[in-house]
Amino acid sequence: MTGPAQLTVRHAMELVVAGDAEALEGRGLNSSYRVTEGGRELSVKVHCADRSSGTEFRRILRVDAALRGTAWYPPVLDMGFHAAGRPRLVVIRPYAPGAPSDDARQHIVQVAGVLADLAARAGGVEAEEDLVGDYASPWVSGAERERALADPLLTGEWQGLARAMDDHLGELRNSAVRLTRPDGLVIHHGDLHGRNLISGSSRPLTVIDWDEAGFSRRPADAGKALWLSCRLGRGDFVLDPQALHRFLTHLHARLRMPYASAADLARLGALWFLPRHGHVTLLGQRDVSLGPWYLDWISRFWARFRQNLDLLTRTAAALDTDADRGC
């Protein structure tokens, strides 16, 4: 699969180990590097060992085949496993020059277009069941197990998260089930937010960070993007009424998402903000400070969830009324 840059996984990892690759900032489970080879800047993503598998390889490969040629997608140039110690999946793509967005509200129109493309590009794609899944899948198939696994994390200052899970998990799961379509396969990016939307001089937008790419049978990307595209700022979760209005309007126009489904979509997206034991554990293994940081971050989401959901419900109802009136 080696592309025109002629940088192989083996050579890329030699550069990383030698300290000749620039480590890029990030708080996720995987590590990212920038490498210059043959006068071209390339991105090298090294997946954590616990998330490196043949299934992950096939998932990324299948998504790459479906999205090649899309203006905002950086294609895979080489991909394989680095076998020093525990094997790690390594993916090489073109590096996207430009600036990530600290305010995703300015990209709502583009995000709606990306979501529409992800749905359209899945047409005719056949995906095995192990390639289909999203952040909602563990909660839909095993909510009680996930809740029990998370319980030891939610003591002391995190007891509010336990209450939020007990108060909302049932309704969130029910919304995810209502939005699941057995024949509605879409390509799933997994993390559409401002820092993964790169604006540069050569192209208007590049979507990066395809670590979690795969397929879904519900609008999981749209549900998560709703929360991450419509907030007033990074680090907190006060929804901007105007941004929310724009997001729902463009989603309705591009994906034919009924306004009446907006509350279900928001509750689907909220499942991503529930703490999973495995995720918090892997964050802690990378950096002991990341677990508490993450739990504090999602606690701020749940502190504002009910007020935000009420705002969304009112906004969707008003849009639905206007649509009925032909406004």
The closest alpha carbon to 260, from 186, 308, 315, belongs to 315
CA 182 to chain centroid: 21
For residue 4, what pLDDT is reported? 46
For residue 89, what pLDDT is reported? 95
Paired residues of 79 in beta bridges: 91
Q: Could you give the 3-state DSSP secondary structure of residue 209?
A: coil
240 Cβ partners below 8 Å, 6+ apart?
105, 230, 231, 232
For residue 67, what pLDDT is reported? 96
- Which parts of the chain register pLDDT below 50? 1-5
- Integer Cα distance of 249 and 192 in angstroms: 18
- Integer Cα distance of 210 and 91 in angstroms: 10
Burial 40-49 (b: 16+ CB within 10 A, else e): eebbbbbbbb
- Integer Cα distance of 90 and 44 in angstroms: 7
For residue 5, what pLDDT is reported? 46
Q: Can you list the positions of beta strands (E) in the chain?
A: 22-24, 31-37, 40-46, 78-82, 88-94, 99-100, 186-188, 197-199, 206-207, 214-216
Segment holding 285, helix H or strand E: helix 277-286
Q: Are strands 99-100 and 197-199 parallel, antiparallel or unpaired?
A: antiparallel
In terms of residues, how long is the chain? 327
Q: Could you give the 3-state DSSP secondary structure of residue 132?
A: strand
The two structure tokens encoding residue 82: 């680095």
The closest alpha carbon to 211, from 15, 319, 303, 79, belongs to 79
Residue 126 CB: number of other CB atoms within 10 A? 8
162 Cβ partners below 8 Å, 6+ apart?
151, 154
Place of tokens 């495995």: 278
Paired residues of 31 in beta bridges: 46
Cβ(146)–Cβ(138) under 8 Å?
yes
Q: Are strands 40-46 and 31-37 parallel, antiparallel or unpaired?
A: antiparallel
Domains identified in the chain and CATH numbers: 9-94 (3.30.200.20), 99-320 (3.90.1200.10)
**DSSP for 88-129?**
EEEEEEE---SEE-S-GGGGHHHHHHHHHHHHHHTTT----G
For residue 102, what pLDDT is reported? 78
* Sign of the alpha-carbon dihedral angle for 327, 103, 212, 169: negative
The two structure tokens encoding residue 64: 């790459």
- Integer Cα distance of 251 and 222 in angstroms: 8
